[in-house]
Structure 1
Amino acid sequence: MGMDEKDIFANIYTMVDKDNNLYSAYKRKIRVFSLVDESNPEAGIELVREVDFENEVAKGETYFAMLVNMTYDGKLIVVGSQSARILDRETLEVLGKTQFGDDELITNSIAVDSDNGIYVASDKVMRKLVWTGTKLSTDESDGAWSSEYSYGDTPPSVKFGKGTGSTPTLMGFDDNDDRLVVITDGVNQMNIVAFWRDEIPDYAVQAAGTTSKRIAGQHKVTCGLDPKPAFIQSEQSVVVKDYEAFVVNNVREHGDKDHLIDVFAGGPVLDPAYGCERFEWDTKTHAWKSVWTRNDVISISTVPVVSGPSNIVFTNGFYKDTGWEVTGLDWNTGETVFRTAFGFDNLGNGAYSIIQFFENGDLLFNSLGGPTRVKL
């Protein structure tokens, strides 16, 4: 039995605040959960607030509430398929909102900077919104901007829509250096794309192959694949460390129309996609360069992460001979330096979760089988 795509996006991007309140988005509702007894977490959680925004939904909007995030002054950000809103965290009252184009679709989360710049990518436009403290602004005078980027065909698997599969990622935090926001675009053989996230500097020139001076630079992603498949595309965020970035290819040649089945079948049943690539942004030439590629690494759907102390980037894939594993690659060279094998059971399918480690080095792995602690 198929699943309504609106249900797939329910509770997909949740948030916990400083008071241990969990905020989730389900269709047209915002729900707030809290611990029953803070002194005894094993007592479980309970629903403490819920607001139905039925009257807020614009005509034709596929889903009203996909994700919840927070501004630096403690307000909620709620984003749907064609809209964004700012809510009071205590009352869930709408304090500001903006509506995007009816022909646009948002399927990823957002990034927020310390000045309450909110970075949202639809399937054709990258935007910076600004929460001024009193309004959610799209005005250039408040620092907001929008920029179209390139997109292609809807892939046969994994991804939703024709645009970016990436949540925007911030890069550069020194006022004297390039301050960027990074995604992969939607063309069939994707580019890694960097946008100037503040005022466009005087030294900026329009990057080759782009339609906007807001785009600081873009570079074709090959993942070292030869011959190149019809699609080199990602449904995962660009992993950023300083001015270095890492991307994976995880669009397969064949997929199932039901995206839930697609998540279960990728790897064990449907042949996986291959390839990853590491890039570096040169702050002197203001351009990307490729550092290394691996055409044999598999990343099914789990979000890759980089460990700064160990200088290792981790992926989760399914290999025909060994099954599911978490693979660690040396950030500088791409060499395999870490492997944790789960075998052929779907316990090893991370399914859009994030790979995490405890301070003692144990692996926290959230999978289709539930959260697992792996002692290393």
Structure 2
Amino acid sequence: MTLKKTILIILGGLVLLIVGIAITIMMLMPPGKTPMPGKQWPALSLAPDLPEALRGSDVGMRLAPKNPELANGVYPLPHGDSAQQDATVINGPIDISRRLKPEEIVYKFLGPGPVGAYTSGIYPDGRRVLWVNGVSGLYKLDSETYEILAHLPSNKSDKYNQAWAEKITASLDKNNSIWNLPTAMKAVGTLMDLSGVYCVVGKNGWIYVANKDGSLQAYGDKFDGDADSEIVEKAIFRIPEIASGPTVGMNMTYDGWIVYPTENGYLVAISSDLKKYHIIQLNFADKENTGSLGVGYGWVRNSIAVDDDGGIYVVSRKHVHKVVWTGNGFSKDDKDGAWVAEYRNSKGGGSGATPALMGFGDEDQLIALTDGDNLMNVTLMWRDEIPEDWEQLNGAPSRRIAGLAPVTMGSLNLEKIQSEQTVIVAGYGVLVVNNQPRNVPNFMPKDGGVNGLFIGPLGSNPDIQPYGVQKFQWDPETRKIYSAWVNVDASSPNGVPWVSLGSRQVYFIGARNNEWTLEALNWDTGDETFHYIIGGQKFNNQFSGPTIDEKGRIFYGTMWGRALLNPEVGGK
């Protein structure tokens, strides 16, 4: 082969790569819909370091009240409970750092997008099941063996079969650099076919699936109480046209009504039998432009938190809304405890975080989120009445804001960071992770769906994976937010962490040397406790997060299935 021909082949390959990248950008980025910048607030001072005397001072705090209308399992809805904390009292694993043996990993192929596995209550025979909704349909798994007990296939289940997935995985195992973007696009593009991201399992054994079109479907066992029976549709609710729009979350009130927002600003409550409903339009939805800026970038972008007094907390593009569920409908009246408060949003696209509740009973009761600044700030707001002597913070758009802390990831000194995850709350602690990929080519956009392309299928690549985990802590005595710790060596590329208050650890799926890992950091200090090496791209969690089951084992979603880590502690 001549030198000229070799050069032409190389140039041709580069042209094809650039064309592939252009197609990727067109598919994943909202064309021509850049957010209008919001008000430019003054820069904030960094949160002071947490005094040593306060480290671990929130041990023994109250837990979020258990919602009796949810299935009695560890994970009946996204983020674990109605407070959306991503935390549990169940002890997680404590071990030495090592590679897991193949027999210590239970894996089940289910097709793309099995982000959540929702736990049932206990069946009459003593078993539990996991309900998993993905691109290939709705599955019911035995929670112990991961045997598929039933499957209600979608119209995509044959398209994304195991042979197809293994081919993609093999390609990414061989090369998950930017030079394999076309394969990465195939892997993440499957999620566009996922209709129902959010699900809730009720105490009645039904799983409620919120679809993109605003409809809600309920499924259950063909024979009640029989875990081995087929999956059947129990009921369906179709949202009235006036409030139609993609759903972006789901929760349940403490009297059993399913509640969810639409991305264009409506809040919907539906009875558990799907026969009755209430709808309300959020404040400012009739005045602001509620149009979507692209997939996942609506006026409301994430799920909602619910408290046991009827408070429902929704984050829109500029405001946090507390709407009160009275049992007979919604109220936006401040006499019922409802309120609306502005947050910082200099970038203009709003918060990417699901809000989480902090503090219960006689503790300081706050709501935690990250805001819409280019360098996001952990933002705490008073949930109920604002203390009479409370003075509005400098740089805060609202007196309701109790704490503001820029997220710089310590010595990484980030100048720009946004999150597409919930904030993790346990006690008075708030955890955030860095999901900004490194070394993104200059010719590619640095925001939106392209970020997901890099931290998803390519997230374990050492040249791309982001680093940094930071914890903040509220002190009720000084009424200040502090930086508790930063770990700049830890990496949680794309998933939501999970906290065990029992073992005082925060767990997340990380990556080392281009292999996926389970990482455990001390919740009070941020120091590494141990890590497991799980394996290659088959075990990429791709936007799923770890959860701790009733036996203290970690389970999580992968690109094409579900994994249960069942280690012999100490590797013995």
TM-score, normalised to structure 1, is 0.88
The 2-side partners of 1:229 and 1:252 are apart by: 12
CA distance 1:201–1:10, change in 2 (3 Å): farther
The 1-side partners of 2:325 and 2:498 are apart by: 29
The 1-side partners of 2:277 and 2:364 are apart by: 34
The 1-side partners of 2:404 and 2:192 are apart by: 34
CA distance 1:191–1:358, change in 2 (3 Å): same
Show the counterpart of 1:152.
Answer: 346
Give the 3-state SS of the residue equivalent to 2:228 in structure 1. Answer: helix
The 2-side partners of 1:301 and 1:163 are apart by: 20
Q: Which residue, 374, 394, 398 being the options, matches 1:212?
A: 398
The 1-side partners of 2:215 and 2:450 are apart by: 24
Show the counterpart of 1:237.
Answer: 422
Q: Is the 8 A contact 2:424 2:431 kept in 1?
A: yes
Show the counterpart of 1:158.
Answer: none
CA distance 1:95–1:261, change in 2 (3 Å): same
The 1-side partners of 2:246 and 2:536 are apart by: 38
Q: Which residue, 102, 126, 136 being the options, matches 2:330?
A: 136
Q: Cα deviation per residue 1:299-332 (whole Å; 9 max; x = unaligned)? A: 122111110111000122233x151111110011
Q: Which has the higher helix share?
A: 2
Q: Which has the higher strand share?
A: 1
Show the counterpart of 1:369.
Answer: 560
CA distance 1:273–1:138, change in 2 (3 Å): same
Show the counterpart of 1:93.
Answer: 276
Show the counterpart of 1:355.
Answer: 546
Q: Is the 8 A contact 1:171 1:240 kept in 2?
A: yes
Q: Cα deviation per residue 1:135-179 (whole Å; 9 max; x = unaligned)? A: 21111111001111112337xxxxxxx22221111111133x311
Mean Cα deviation higher: 98-107 or 20-29: 98-107
Mean Cα deviation higher: 14-23 or 256-265: 256-265
The 2-side partners of 1:206 and 1:4 are apart by: 38
Q: Which residue, 251, 267, 283 being the options, matches 2:460?
A: 267
Percent of aligned pairs with the same residue? 31
Structure with max Cα Rg: 2
Q: Which residue, 250, 254, 266 being the options, matches 1:68?
A: 250
The 1-side partners of 2:526 and 2:256 are apart by: 39
CA distance 1:51–1:115, change in 2 (3 Å): same
Show the counterpart of 1:36.
Answer: 222
Q: Report whether the alignment pairs 1:165 with 2:360.
A: no
Q: Report whether the alignment pairs 1:80 with 2:262.
A: yes
Question: For residue 249 of structure 2, what is the amino acid of its counterpart?
Answer: L
Q: How much does 1:261 deviate?
A: 4.0
Q: How much does 1:257 deviate?
A: 4.2
Q: How much does 1:46 deviate?
A: 1.6
Question: For residue 323 of structure 2, what is the amino acid of its counterpart?
Answer: L
Q: Is the 8 A contact 1:249 1:299 kept in 2?
A: yes
Q: Which residue, 276, 300, 304 being the options, matches 2:469?
A: 276
Q: How much does 1:95 deviate?
A: 2.3
The 2-side partners of 1:152 and 1:235 are apart by: 17
Q: How much does 1:278 deviate?
A: 1.2
The 1-side partners of 2:317 and 2:463 are apart by: 26
Q: Which runs of 5+ in 1 are unaligned?
A: 155-161
Show the counterpart of 1:302.
Answer: 495
CA distance 1:42–1:300, change in 2 (3 Å): farther
Question: For residue 204 of structure 2, what is the amino acid of its counterpart?
Answer: D
Q: Report whether the alignment pairs 1:342 with 2:547.
A: no
Q: How much does 1:94 deviate?
A: 2.0
Q: How much does 1:10 deviate?
A: 3.2
Show the counterpart of 1:24.
Answer: 209
CA distance 1:273–1:197, change in 2 (3 Å): same
Give the 3-state SS of the residue equivalent to 1:265 in structure 2. Answer: coil
Show the counterpart of 2:361.
Answer: 174
Give the 3-state SS of the residue equivalent to 1:56 in structure 2. Answer: helix
Q: Which residue, 220, 228, 239 being the options, matches 1:53?
A: 239
The 2-side partners of 1:47 and 1:259 are apart by: 36
Compare relative contact order (CA 8 Å, sep 6+) and give the higher one, 1 or 2. 2
Question: For residue 95 of structure 1, what is the amino acid of its counterpart?
Answer: H
Q: Is the 8 A contact 2:367 2:380 kept in 1?
A: yes
Give the 3-state SS of the residue equivalent to 1:342 in structure 2. Answer: strand
The 2-side partners of 1:331 and 1:115 are apart by: 29
The 2-side partners of 1:42 and 1:25 are apart by: 24
Mean Cα deviation higher: 283-292 or 362-371: 362-371
Give the 3-state SS of the residue equivalent to 1:315 in structure 2. Answer: strand
Give the 3-state SS of the residue equivalent to 1:354 in structure 2. Answer: coil
Q: Is the 8 A contact 1:98 1:136 kept in 2?
A: no
Question: For residue 37 of structure 1, what is the amino acid of its counterpart?
Answer: F
CA distance 1:8–1:195, change in 2 (3 Å): farther
Q: Cα deviation per residue 1:23-76 (whole Å; 9 max; x = unaligned)? A: 111123111111123443233322221232252336xxxx33232221111112
Q: Report whether the alignment pairs 1:195 with 2:376.
A: no
The 1-side partners of 2:230 and 2:497 are apart by: 30
Q: Report whether the alignment pairs 1:316 with 2:473.
A: no
Give the 3-state SS of the residue equivalent to 1:264 in structure 2. Answer: coil
TM-score, normalised to structure 2, is 0.59
The 2-side partners of 1:134 and 1:4 are apart by: 41
Mean Cα deviation higher: 197-206 or 108-117: 197-206
Q: Which residue, 199, 202, 210 being the options, matches 1:14?
A: 199
Q: How much does 1:111 deviate?
A: 0.6
Question: For residue 374 of structure 1, what is the amino acid of its counterpart?
Answer: L
Q: Is the 8 A contact 2:460 2:514 kept in 1?
A: no
Q: How much does 1:131 deviate?
A: 0.7
CA distance 1:223–1:92, change in 2 (3 Å): farther
CA root-mean-square deviation: 2.4
Q: Which runs of 5+ in 2 are unaligned?
A: 1-23, 31-190, 291-298, 441-445, 568-572
